[in-house]
Amino acid sequence: MGIGETAIGHKGAGQWVLCKADDSAQPIHLSSMEGQIGPDVVDMRGLYKQAGVFSYDPGFANTAACQSAITYIDGEEGVLLHRGYPIEQLCEKASFTDVAWLLSHGELPDAQQKVRFEQGLMAEAHLHEQIRNFFNGFRRDSHPMAMLCGTLAGLSSFYGNQGADQRHRITPEEREMSTLRLVAKMPTLAAWVYRYSRGLPLIYPRPGLSYAENCLHMLFSMPEAPWAVNPVLARAFDRILILHADHGQNVSTSTVRTVGSTGVNPFACIAAGVAALWGPAHGGANEAVLDMLDEIGTVDGIPDFMNRVRNQKDGTRLMGFGHRVYKKLDPRAGLMRRICHEVLAELGMDHDPRLELALKLEETALNDEYFISRRLYPNVDFYSGIILRAMGIPSSMFTVFFAVARTAGWVAQWKEMLESRPGISRPRALYVGQTRRDVPSSYGAED
């Protein structure tokens, strides 16, 4: 196995040419594709047919696996757009249900669409009563994401036969209903996961409450003492959902699109996204931030902790800083920071030691050449865990509510994937194992 030298050059008029550096082979002509904004891409689909080779891109960091009109990210400039709308404007002017509609339908809902959609979400928010029995199969101390993933996949046996066999193509009407059901039922399922783990009675959705309010109601109400709406906390939670609704072709979204390409039932498809989100390198990062703050302890512990981070051999990481996509400040981080101050002020926790520690840690990192040179800025996870814990949501549930929010993006991506009819996903591999060999003639013989 070796590495050959290949050159790729722009030929103009949307054409690229790929050839051996020593001109020992015929050049391969590839076309380019232009996005609405952002970099062009080289269309590699004809590469194997022309040259008998595949491209190699571990992690797919330089590969566009699909065409999408849902979310655009410019990591160099710190830009995040949903259907063209900046995340800052959506966070200020829209609700989470507005954004969920936007992601799936391409435009913000008008007044009539908004009412119909929210009424549909309320009508579909209840779970089949037999779902209660699913929880009895889990230990009370099971990880909440395990319960969410398992019960969500189980919902596929209750709602429709989409993906049941090759002969059934999911119709547009079924896609719309599946989208509505998934977005509607996820908060109920998430709340029941929490209630079961705490041995608390399961609470049902309450008509008249907004999407975010119902999330908090099902978490914190008791039969004898319904949760009282706090508009500041409800609006804060709604914006947290917006900030996590979609983020382009990350690992969980790519998983949803890949699994969905098989035609599987959408509940099982979204369950695959939940499984991908579970990983600490993806959805579990905000919980890791709180663990880090607990490890540092006080402001006095910051210098020693930062020294350990700089010593790369130590293995200590500064959690909540840096992002694989953003090379400037994550645009969601500043919004989350503002929400954090609003929530803690409302709860009378302005001088919470963990917030003061986080602020000092942020200040230290932003003025340290080691982190500046590596473009390590706070990301959305740095403050979200502080907010959720202050609201009474335990850290084990953080990723669960990340999944609730991200479901809006997942179903939009799933719909877009089905409508484009791309065929089943099938990545290739650079094989580095043994060449053909025969099993020894003596193998398996009696001694």
Q: Among positive and negative, which fits the CA dihedral 290, 294, 297, 301?
A: negative
Give yes or no for a contact between 193 and 149, defined as CB atoms under 8 angstroms apart: no
CA dist., res. 197 & res. 128, Å (int): 19
Give yes or no for a contact between 158 and 130, defined as CB atoms under 8 angstroms apart: yes
Question: What is the DSSP annotation of 62-77?
Answer: T---S--SSEEEETTT
Nearest-10 crossing angle of helices 266-277, 172-198: 50
Count of residues making up the chain: 447
Residues contacting 55, CB < 8 A, separation 6+: 44, 47, 63
Strand, helix or coil for residue 391 = coil
CA dist., res. 264 & res. 267, Å (int): 8
CA distances to 49, 177, 285, 386 from 318, rounded to whole Å, are: 45, 42, 11, 16
30 Ramachandran zone, left/alpha/beta (phi>0; psi -120 to 50): beta
Active-site hit among 98, 246, 330, 381: 381
| 323 catalytic residue (yes or no) | yes
Q: b/e string for 296-318 if b means 16 or more Cβ within 10 A?
A: beeeeebeebbeebeeeeeebeb
Give yes or no for a contact between 253 and 410, defined as CB atoms under 8 angstroms apart: yes
Active-site hit among 82, 217, 247, 323: 323
CA nearest 296: which of 286, 308, 313, 314?
308
CA dist., res. 252 & res. 412, Å (int): 13
Residue numbers annotated as active site: 323, 381
